[in-house]
Amino acid sequence: MISLQNVSKTYPNGTRAMKNVSLNIKKGDFVFVVGSSGSGKSTLIKMLLKEEDPTSGKIIVNNKDITKLKRKQVPYLRREIGTVFQDFRLLPNKTVYDNVAFAMQVVEANPKEIRRAVPVTLGLVGIAKKFKCYPHQLSGGEQQRVALARAIVNDSPILIADEPTGNLDPETAWEIMKLLQDINKRGVTVVMATHEKEIVDTLRKRVIEIDNGVVIRDSCEGGYDCED
């Protein structure tokens, strides 16, 4: 589903953030990308979203080499991958409902389908009652629920989260982790960057550890074959 082949990234200022990384992530996986601050987690995620291009190597998402995608084909990726960030990134002038509806409008979903899917998805993440609220009227945990709804409302097969619990207290973080696992159980491939050791150690998922732009560990649970 996702494959990196000898991927390196050097930023224009000379920082080598990724060095010859190869890895495969299968459909339906739940993968943690871990490593200390500055190790290259966000760089990896930005390349999966084509916010950054690798300096060399190939990145395959859903059988497409996204390094070859033209700028105007990037909306294709937006349909394949839902995203969640540490800072929620909701649109401040739109209600909860409209934030989620907007994600469907940009991929040109039909209005009838939007009216059906938005309430259902808000219900799935437990925030349906607040559909009229604006982001500033919500707690951090509630905002992240809305961001999760937005990330899954288009039924994208992949969800990528960069430190989604980074701004949340531990209890709220666990609520968000529970939702991410529910989403994964519905068949969505989840890739989550985090440096929160307790979450990673407790959940016992596949862990890819990055240090200084290099993969130094790739754990595979239960006889999992990483090379497939």
42 in contact with Mg ion (CB under 5 A): yes
Under 8 Å between Cβ of 191 and 48: yes
Contact flag: residue 156 with ligand ADP (CB under 6 A): no
Closest by CA to 30, choosing from 150, 192, 161, is 192
Minimum CB distance to ligand ADP, residue 19 (Å):
11
User: Does residue 165 belong to the site contacting Mg ion (CB under 5 A)?
Assistant: no
Q: Is the CB of residue 81 less than 8 Å from the CB of residue 156?
A: yes
Cβ proximity to ligand ADP, 42 vs 99, nearer residue = 42
Is 13 a residue that touches ligand ADP (CB under 6 A)?
A: yes
Closest CA to 183 of 129, 128, 125: 125
Q: Check binding of 165 to ligand ADP (CB under 6 A).
A: no
Among 2, 21, 31, 35, binds ligand ADP (CB under 6 A): 35
Write out the two tokens for 54: 């690798």
For residue 166, the minimal CB distance to Mg ion (Å) is: 9
The smaller minimum CB distance to Mg ion, of residues 4 and 96, is found at: 4
Residue 17 interacts with which of ligand ADP, Mg ion, none, CB < 5 to 8 Å by class = ligand ADP
> Cα(224)–Cα(190) distance, rounded to whole angstroms?
16
Whole-angstrom distance, CA of residue 215 vs CA of residue 74: 27
Q: Which of residues 39-78 bind ligand ADP (CB under 6 A)?
A: 39-43
Dihedral of CA atoms 168, 169, 171, 172 in degrees, nearest 10, equals -20
Size, binding site for ligand ADP by CB under 6 A: 12
**Residue 23, strand partner residues:** 4
Residue 13 interacts, among ligand ADP, Mg ion, none and using kind-specific CB cut-offs from 5 to 8 Å, with ligand ADP
197 binding ligand ADP? (CB under 6 A): no
> Closest separation between CB of residue 26 and Mg ion, Å?
24
Which option in ligand ADP, Mg ion, none does residue 164 bind, with CB closer than 5 to 8 A by kind?
none
Residues that bind Mg ion (CB under 5 A): 41-42
Residues that bind ligand ADP (CB under 6 A): 11, 13, 15, 17, 35, 37-43
